C-alpha cells in the first residue's frame, strides 16, 4: 500500500490546520493531531470519546526534535539510538518552556515520545514538521485498529482523512518505559521486551497492579495544583480565583474562562493551561463553576476531581 505525495501533502495540511488524520504506524493506526495545539489535542479526546484524559504519545521525526520537547538523559539516548525508529515509547520530563500542549501530558510534567518506523508515518512526520499526538485510532474501550478499514468503521466522520498503509506489522501497541524513575519502569509491555531493554541500559522494572506506579490508564499520578479547588461553585468566596464555564460568577479577584460559550471541547483544550495559570499566581483557592456531566464534560470532571484531592 503506497501513499502518494499528494495524499501526504493533503494530510500534512489538515494536521497543520489543527484537524485530525489517522495514519498507519508499525504497531497500530494512530489518530493524529498537532501536539502543540490544545485545540487539536482536545479534538482527539472528543473523537475517541474517552471518559478520561489519559496522556497521549507524541510522535516525532527525529531525536533532535524529541530533545526540543523532552529531556533525554544518557539511558534515554542509548535506548533511542537502538530502538528508534520503532515500537518503543519513552516517558521523559518535559523541557523547561516545552511548547507541547499540556493536555497531551494530561497536565503532568512528563511526556511520552516515540519515533515510529512505518514509512508512511515517517514521511508524514518529515513533511508536516510538527510533533503529532496520536493515540490508537479507536473509540475508547475498543481494540486498537491494525487496518485502515478498522479505523473507518470506528471513526468515519470524526477524522478528516485516513491514510491507508496496509496492515500494521507489529499489531500491538508500543512498549512504554518511564525513564523518569531512578530505575526505569515498563508501564506497558510490548514487542520490545524487558530483556531487550536491559541489554542496553541495565536493570528496569515492570509495573504491576500493586507497584507504586500503576499501569497506564490507571495512572495514579496526575496534575495536582497547590491551590485548593472548590468544584461546582455557585458563588465566589472572598479572596478566591474563578475558573469559569459560561457566564462567569461575580466577585473573583482573578479569573479564567474555560469556555464563555459553554463549548466542552474548548473547555477541554483550555483546562490544564488555565488551571496552571491560576495556580502559578500562588492563590489559595480556586472556585470552579459546574461542568455538565456529558460528552467531554465527563473527562473534564474526572480530571477536576483528581486535581481537587
Ligand atoms: O503503538 C503505540 O504506541 C500507538 C501508536 C499509534 O503509536 N499509540 C498508542 O497511544 O498506543 P495511546 O495514547 O493509546 O497510549 C499511550 C499510553 C497510555 O497507556 C498512557 O497511559 C501512556 O502511554 N502514557 C502516555 N503519556 C504518559 C506519561 N506522561 N506518563 C505515563 N504514561 C504515559
Ligand atoms: Mg489505545
C-alpha of residue 112 to centroid of ligand 1, in Å = 7
Predicted pLDDT of residue 172: 84
C-alpha of residue 251 to centroid of ligand 1, in Å = 41
Q: What is the pLDDT of residues 3-17, one digit of tens each?
A: 999 999 999 999 999
For the segment 23-49, the average pLDDT, to the nearest whole number, is 96
Q: What is the pLDDT of residues 84-142, one digit of tens each?
A: 999 999 999 999 999 999 999 998 999 999 999 999 999 999 999 999 999 999 988 78
Name residues contacting ligand 1 (CB within 6 A).
Answer: 25, 27-28, 30, 54-57, 87, 89, 91, 105, 108, 110-112, 116, 134-136, 173-174, 176, 178, 187-188, 216-217, 219
The mean pLDDT of the chain is 92
Q: 3-state SS string over the chain?
A: CCCCHHHHHHHHHHHHCCCCEEECCCCCCEEEEECCCHHHHHHHHHHHCCCCCCCCEEECCCHHHHHHHECCCHHHHHHHHHHCCCCEEEEEEECCCCCCCCHHHCCCCEEEEECCCCHHHHHHHHHHCCCEECCECCCCCCCCCCCHHHHHHHHECCECEECCCCCCCCCCCCEEEECCCCCCEEEECCCCCHHHHHHHHCCCEECCCCCCCCCCCCCCCCCCCCCEEECCCCCCCCCCEEEECCCCCCCCCEEEECCCCCCHHHHHHHHHHHHHHHHHCCCCEEEECCCCCCCCHHHHHHHHHHHCC
C-alpha of residue 153 to centroid of ligand 1, in Å = 22
Q: What is the pLDDT of residues 165-219, one digit of tens each?
A: 998 888 888 999 999 999 999 998 888 989 999 999 999 998 875 555 444 444 5
Predicted pLDDT of residue 66: 98
Amino acid at each position: 500500500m503506497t501513499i502518494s505525495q499528494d495524499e501526504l501533502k493533503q494530510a500534512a495540511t489538515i494536521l497543520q490546520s489543527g484537524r485530525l488524520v489517522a495514519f498507519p504506524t508499525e504497531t497500530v493506526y494512530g489518530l493524529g493531531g498537532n501536539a502543540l495545539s490544545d485545540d487539536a489535542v482536545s479534538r482527539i479526546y472528543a473523537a475517541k470519546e474517552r471518559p478520561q484524559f489519559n496522556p497521549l504519545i507524541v510522535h516525532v521525526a527525529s531525536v533532535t526534535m524529541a530533545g526540543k520537547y523532552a529531556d533525554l538523559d544518557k539511558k534515554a539516548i542509548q535506548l533511542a539510538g537502538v530502538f528508534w525508529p520503532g515500537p518503543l515509547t519513552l516517558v521523559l520530563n518535559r523541557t523547561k518552556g516545552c511548547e507541547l500542549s499540556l493536555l497531551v501530558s494530561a497536565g503532568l510534567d512528563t511526556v511520552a515520545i516515540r519515533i515510529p518506523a512505518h514509512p508512511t508515518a515517517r514521511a508524514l512526520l518529515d513533511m508536516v514538521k510538527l510533533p503529532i499526538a496520536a493515540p490508537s485510532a479507536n473509540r475508547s474501550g475498543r481494540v486498537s485498529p491494525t487496518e485502515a478499514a478498522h479505523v473507518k468503521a470506528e471513526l468515519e466522520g470524526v477524522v478528516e482523512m485516513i491514510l491507508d498503509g496496509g496492515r500494521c506489522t507489529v499489531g500491538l501497541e508500543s512498549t512504554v518505559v518511564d525513564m523518569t524513575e531512578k530505575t526505569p519502569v515498563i508501564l506497558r509491555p510490548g514487542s520490545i521486551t524487558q530483556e531487550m531493554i536491559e541489554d542496553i541500559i541495565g536493570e528496569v522494572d515492570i509495573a504491576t497492579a500493586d507497584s507504586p506506579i500503576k499501569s497506564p490508564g490507571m495512572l495514579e499520578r496526575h496534575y495536582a495544583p497547590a491551590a485548593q479547588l472548590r468544584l461546582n461553585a455557585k458563588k465566589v468566596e472572598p479572596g478566591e480565583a474563578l475558573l469559569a464555564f459560561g457566564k462567569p460568577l461575580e466577585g473573583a479577584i482573578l479569573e479564567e474562562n474555560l469556555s464563555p460559550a459553554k463549548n466542552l471541547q474548548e473547555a477541554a483544550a483550555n483546562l490544564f493551561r488555565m488551571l496552571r495559570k491560576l495556580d502559578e499566581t500562588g492563590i489559595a483557592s480556586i472556585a470552579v463553576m459546574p461542568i455538565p456531566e456529558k460528552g467531554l464534560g465527563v473527562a473534564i470532571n474526572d480530571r477536576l476531581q483528581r486535581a481537587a484531592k
